[in-house]
Amino acid sequence: MSEISNIRLLAAVMFADMVGYTKLMQEDEQQAKKLRDRQREVIEGCILQHRGQIMQYYGDGTLSMFGSALDGVNCAREIQLLLKEEPKVPLRIGIHIGDVVYDDEGIYGDAVNIAARVQGLGTPGSVMISGKVFDEIKNHPGVRVEAFGEHELKNVSSPVGIYAIANEGIEVPPQGHIRDITGSNQNSVAVLPFMNFSSNEDNEYFSDGITEEIINSLVKVKGLQVASRTSVFAFKNTPKDVRAIGKELNVATVLEGSVRVAANRVRVTAQLIKTNDGFHIWSENYDREMKDIFGVQDEIAQKIADKLETNFTFDTSRRLYEASTDSVVAYNNYLQGLFYWNKRTPEGAKKAIEYFEKALKKCSTYTNAYSGLANCYTFLGTIGHLQAKDAFIKAEDLANKAIELNNTRADSYISLGYVNLLYKWDFEAADSNFRKAITLEPENEDARLAFSFYNRVMGRMDKMLDQARAAVKIAPVSLPALSDLARGLTIVEEYAEALEIYDKIIDLDPNFRAAYEGKALIYVFKKDFKNAMKQLRKYIKLMKGPNKGGTQLGYLAALMGDTKEANKNLELMQRRQEEEPDLNLSLDFAVVYAGLGEVDKAFEYLFKAVEEKLGSVVLLNSIPPFNTLKSDLRYNELLDKIGLPKQAVVVA
């Protein structure tokens, strides 16, 4: 047999390693060898079936190669499913594709090193793949993935995109697991809200918009971690030192600046600062005509990238900021819409719709405006401030239009996923769209929160918390992310941690009313009605309108046995429903009647919510006030209508 001498080829490299083998050898050598032999037997059979070749054994590990990335992934999936059967073998698998050198001794090269590093990021039962493998398999039906962003790996020159195979039966590591293993913040920046130095205070929308557009540009830079919008806007109008901000956001650099608009001229100042010592890396002023604002944003993003280029891979040949309109008037309208949308209130969303529509009248191909409109209608449909049919059908059309114009934006897929989830009850399509959003932008906080919400609906509470914690990792001072995590912890009855998070939110913003509502619910569930009422009063004080607090006060009164007060709040809710015909309070009525023990009335409103396709009705399984209804046969009838997993009927 002739010797093979240094053949170079492109191959998919699979590295498999048994977890805890050394320790098991010390404790039970016979059992360790038994599991190792079972692992080898399974791997050898699967690799032969999937046209691969075992190149080397490493005691408890195996190095193999395939001519196709898809063959390698399918093989790895089959191996893990077989090794879940008794006796279980705790195996991690990593796959990368690249050049290897092949000889009699085995295979060598960077591809082998990267496959081993990728494998090391997994947990028992997982299949981890690199970005290069993902590029090869992403269009193949039947393969699901979860994205973890780009990470620096030991002895690897450039950051590597990390993904996990997420098909049923395959373990997926928690999001924080990989960040904790690889975490370095040297390639990171936070863009603080630019100050509005214009004479007109109403121009604040423009300075906020510039900030957000620069953030969106920098997100495109491969290997650069960019603090999310919600995180940085928590520091708006605060005198906090950049060193303290850097510590809270875990970033190495901060960009701060100002915007002054006068007539058709704009002046933008920007400075990049190191957070470890507060020293300036770079600063510059830009005096331009308003029509040049798109170029200014690209130039600022380019400057930041150039200054940090030694730390990450950056393609200087392409523009970072790519405007989806050439109309400055449309852009101005879009920024005004964005300003109101970011308030995340019903009033703000309705105002944002006006401006996004104005932007589209000036530029009918404005992708960002279509996405913005889709977000607004989805939001209003979800919270019951627009009839579901009107809101979600519009949202679907707008999201599809945005994707048709530009299929690289995560928020369009997020909106589409919410339509699938909340209106169509097409849970598989929702899963696909949320995963697509995360794949496009792994560091997108909203995509993580959307996927967390999806997992809550599906009853996968561990995955709900995993994605919520991932969102908080991305945006550590984001009030929506923190609030969603606290809400999730409340559902699984981790009350102490949830209360801690709500207190942190209130420290960040004493006017964030959802935190008081969240605390009140925890005290309700703990039957501490005195503290619950104390928190509800704070919550109601921050609400607007004459008919406020009906649902929350009505439910609390019902639990306290105060039927008269509960009915008084039901009347308030009815009055509000009549005064706002677009509002849908069916679920709210059901909550109060459930508290009163009026089961038939509660089910009447729940069936009404299902017939009306009220968005939030999909949360039926995870709204604690409805737990008392789960022993009723009508409860599973509701779940069946929605298509949610049925509950075991409890006989009282």
Q: What is the pLDDT of residue 555?
A: 93
- How does strand 61-66 pair with strand 195-196? unpaired
Among 204, 251, 259, 258, which residue's Cα sits nearest to residue 232? Answer: 251
Q: Is residue 197 part of a domain?
A: yes
Is a pLDDT exceeding 90 seen at residue 125? yes
Q: Is residue 17 part of a domain?
A: yes
Burial classification of residue 643, based on how many CB atoms lie within 10 Å of its CB (0-12 exposed, 13-18 middle, 19 or more buried):
exposed
Is 57 in the same domain as 171? yes
Q: Is residue 449 part of a domain?
A: no
- CA dist 206 and 469 (Å) reads 32
Query: How many domains does the chain contain in total?
Result: 3
- Beta carbons of 232 and 211 less than 8 angstroms apart: yes
Quote the percentage of the chain above a pLDDT of 70. Answer: 93
- CA dist 31 and 18 (Å) reads 13
Phi, psi of 541 (to 5 degrees): -60, -30
Is 233 in the same domain as 101? no
Is 306 in the same domain as 235? yes
Q: What is the pLDDT of residue 183?
A: 62
> Which of the four pLDDT bands, split at 50, 70 and 90, describes residue 449?
very high
Average pLDDT value over all residues in the chain: 86
499 CB neighbour count, 10 Å cutoff: 18
CA atoms within 13 A on the CB side of 585: 24
- CA dist 564 and 141 (Å) reads 57
To the question of pTM greater than 0.85 for the whole model, the response is no
Q: Please say whether the dihedral angle defined by the alpha carbons of residues 293, 299, 300 and 301, taken in this order, is positive or negative.
A: positive
Residue 41 belongs to a domain with what CATH number?
A: 3.30.70.1230
- Whole-angstrom CA distances from 330 to 240, 311, 323, 356 are 35, 37, 11, 8
If you search the block for the tokens 């130095």, which residue do you land on? Answer: 197
Q: Which of 133, 161, 182 is the last residue of a domain?
A: 182
- Whole-angstrom CA distances from 294 to 220, 297, 298, 301, 323 are 16, 5, 6, 11, 7
- Beta carbons of 222 and 238 less than 8 angstroms apart: no
Residue 385 belongs to a domain with what CATH number?
A: 1.25.40.10
Is 319 in the same domain as 337? no
Is 284 in the same domain as 419? no
Q: What is the pLDDT of residue 651?
A: 35
- CA dist 372 and 265 (Å) reads 27
- The secondary element (H helix, E strand) that includes residue 146 is strand 145-151
> Which of the four pLDDT bands, split at 50, 70 and 90, describes residue 426?
very high
Is 18 in the same domain as 99? yes
- CA dist 559 and 80 (Å) reads 49
At position 46, the amino acid (one-letter code) is C
- The secondary element (H helix, E strand) that includes residue 149 is strand 145-151
Is a pLDDT exceeding 60 seen at residue 13? yes
Average pLDDT of 115-129? 94
Q: What is the pLDDT of residue 316?
A: 46
Running DSSP on this structure, what letter comes out for residue 171?
Answer: B
Q: Is residue 534 part of a domain?
A: no
Tens digits of residue pLDDT in 598-611: 999 999 999 999 99
Hey, what are 84's tokens?
A: 């879940």
Q: For residues 289 and 431, which has the higher predicted lDDT (pLDDT)?
A: 431
Q: Is residue 589 part of a domain?
A: no
Hey, what are 95's tokens?
A: 């796959």
Is 102 in the same domain as 19? yes
600 CB neighbour count, 10 Å cutoff: 9
Tens digits of residue pLDDT in 135-150: 999 888 889 998 887 7
CA atoms within 13 A on the CB side of 533: 9
**Which range marks the domain in which residue 354 is found?**
326-441
Among 411, 330, 327, which residue's Cα sits nearest to residue 377? Answer: 411
Is 331 in the same domain as 291? no
Q: Where are the beta strands (DSSP E) in 44-90?
A: 52-58, 61-66
Q: Which of 441, 463, 486 is the last residue of a domain?
A: 441
Is 240 in the same domain as 308? yes
Tens digits of residue pLDDT in 305-361: 676 654 444 444 445 445 677 788 888 898 899 888 887 788 889 999 999 999 999
Is 196 in the same domain as 128? no
Q: Is residue 617 part of a domain?
A: no
- CA dist 73 and 170 (Å) reads 12
Q: Which of 323, 355, 380 is the last residue of a domain?
A: 323
210 CB neighbour count, 10 Å cutoff: 25
Is 192 in the same domain as 113? no
